[in-house]
Chain A
Amino acid sequence: MKKFYIILSIGILVVAFNRCNKAEDFPESGYDERLSGGAATIFDATSHALTNAMGGLNERDQRVHEIGDQTFDQTFVAPPSPIFTGLGPVFNNISCVNCHRNDGEGIPTAGFSNSGLLFRISQPGQDANGGPVAIPGFGTQIQDKAVLGAQPEAIFNISYADSMVTYTDGSSIVLTKPNYLLQNPYTSLPSDYILSPRLAPPLVGMGLLENIPETTILSFVDANDKNGDGITGKANYIYNEYTKRKELGRFGLKANTSTLALQVATAYQQDMGVTSYMQHEESADGQSQMNGVHGDVQPELVDSLLNYVVFYVKTLAVPARRNVSDPDIKQGSVLFNDLNCSGCHRPTIQTGFDQTLAQINNQRIHPYTDLLLHDMGSALADGRPDFLATGSEWRTAPLWGIGLLDIANGTPYFLHDGRAKTLEEAILWHGGEAQKSKQQFMQLNKADRDRIVKFLKSL
């Protein structure tokens, strides 16, 4: 009998506790949707909106960020020089900030001191590591400037052609397509070369993107399009020359770089001709331009400064969204999802663990990217493969901060070569996996199209 009471009591307790309120999923409405970068968000809508450090860095990290910031802005000069030496002999620009203006994007011109467009080059096929085939005497990037006494590898002439796009409602818009002509190569160039223009992209939230778990990115892959939305998504795997390993690509316009450190070191080497412990060979190694270089010391960039610049980029804050309660913007957000723009530009992702930096650790972020490659159609194709990326595939561009580019940079430019001057133009250039979404966009009335653009400007 005693057992019966015990069992009855336990039974009652179980039933009673079962009636307790179970924890439910935290409601969407409970999150502050302005916090695009989670704890790494900053409230600043001025021209410096993209240049802020994440809040709450400790004193040491703050100092490292500041030195990285100064080095990022620093002009490098031709060797020999006691300070900031190592520019060239061939290069695209003389400081990071000249292309990543205010930590935003570059200007889509070539050959000027403020030009932010560069050209990758290769021959058809793949090299031993699966990457683009370098061209002897040029490598895989054209440096269109050189120190005095040396010759640029080539220069570029850009011409533009207009075409008209007409919406279902009859209104139309002009799109401008750039055409790139390589001129004056310093030595002979094989006729089957392939060019890929790349505009310096904004640096928003790079530390957070680096901290997204690989499994999360891979979970977005839908190689066989099981859900039938026309969007597949492909991960790029690249060869990291420093670690000598094959790694998941997540940075660069074709997801052709795996880590921030590799991205920064390669930019110093290829874009400025500045060598470092990670990229210790001059971009012009073995070329005739090296003849004019005397008194150079390798590596040119001090190890700690490279690390500080990497840390600087990693700890840049994400600007908060503006006007999120505006009814048009709310409706634009709904339309963005309805048109399945969010199929690639994924609104919400959870970052992984990083106990060294609380601001990027386990954060709910809104980058609007899946970091995967997608076929963007023939109009945007460069025809140049880059590891697993085909000539028509590009990595989904993150959209956070995109609405602040006009304030940060004066004039905004969108897409891989900056051909679109408005967000509306950028949408209309989409094709391939985004064709269906674009067509739906074109069928909307003007008010709804404007709502989507207004929503994008709030990011």
Chain B
Amino acid sequence: MATTDIIIIGGGLHGCSAALHLALANCSVRVIEQSYVGRHASGVNAGGVRRLGRDLAEIPLSAASMEIWHGIEDLVHDDCGFAVSAQIKVAETETELAQLRQRAAQVQALGFTHEEIIDQAELRHWVPAIAPHCVGGLIARGDGHANPYRTTLAFKRRAEQLGVRFHENTTVSGLQRVGESWQVETNAGAFSAPVLINCAGAWGARIAAWLGESIPLQPTALMLMVTERLQHFLDPVLGAAGRALSFKQVDNGTVIIGGGYRGQAYPDTQSTTLDCRQLARNARTAFTLFPHMRNVRIVRAWAGIEGMLPDGIPVLGPASQAPDVFHAFGFCGPGFQLGPASGRVIAELVTRGQTNIPLEAFRSDRFSSS
């Protein structure tokens, strides 16, 4: 049977990143992907590279990832379309601004300085087109955005150059512990490896269930829209304190609008459908903050399948019920930014048995009642 040091299930960004970091640590790696690399959330997300507004538990991981992003070309030999543009969360009322102040203080108390309050004048300076009622915001100046599909492919290509084998259109049908190894059954035959890594995204809980863990992962279709090309009017990526919104203008002039609005996900057929009523809510949010957008045309909307966990943060670390298995899935939306570091963390856990990044909050058994 074909054997490598590691088998990774899932060819999204996290799987590709784990593969690359493990290959850099001289492990032999095989990646098994049910469709093609980057097919789902990794390839079609909004491309936000954002530390701003993260769950406090994610901040160390996010900060570590940001350092990798700033040198991404050295790692994957492609710039991934990464650009620093700042990310801003807008406050529409004094109450919201007070909440953002409190948030900034919390982040600073943890020893991180990337989130800062800006007043109305500075918000105007950054975002001249913002609706006049907005009073200020929270900014992360070093944040930005990248091209998600290109990024995922760049990780894959670099990993391949270092000897990682990718099996696309290959579906895992079962797992078996045989001696000191994991045997992975697929429609393309069986593979074995001493170490197994579950990067199966929205399908991650299925793999975990085979390993005796019940994880309440909800596959979800997060929707995005893109507009016609407009004259350049916006540099930073915008969010809002009191609304679900993600709003950015990219190089070609189009504006990408999202904010976690959900369509229907069909994980069994790997397909999604849009919910136009939810998109309509998203549209209203966008032109409430940017009045000039009301008469701008939407050219296209889409959705990608993503795994959501009840507390909004991923599962990352060793499996609780099976030896030599590590999980990295359920990134709940903004996982794209975390990809470069999540792979490094996995590689550190596999090769050194430890990492400097605190992972307690990401334990896979945190949802079990016992």
Asked if chains A and B come from one complex, the reply is no
Residues of B within 8 A of A (CB): none
Residues of A within 8 A of B (CB): none
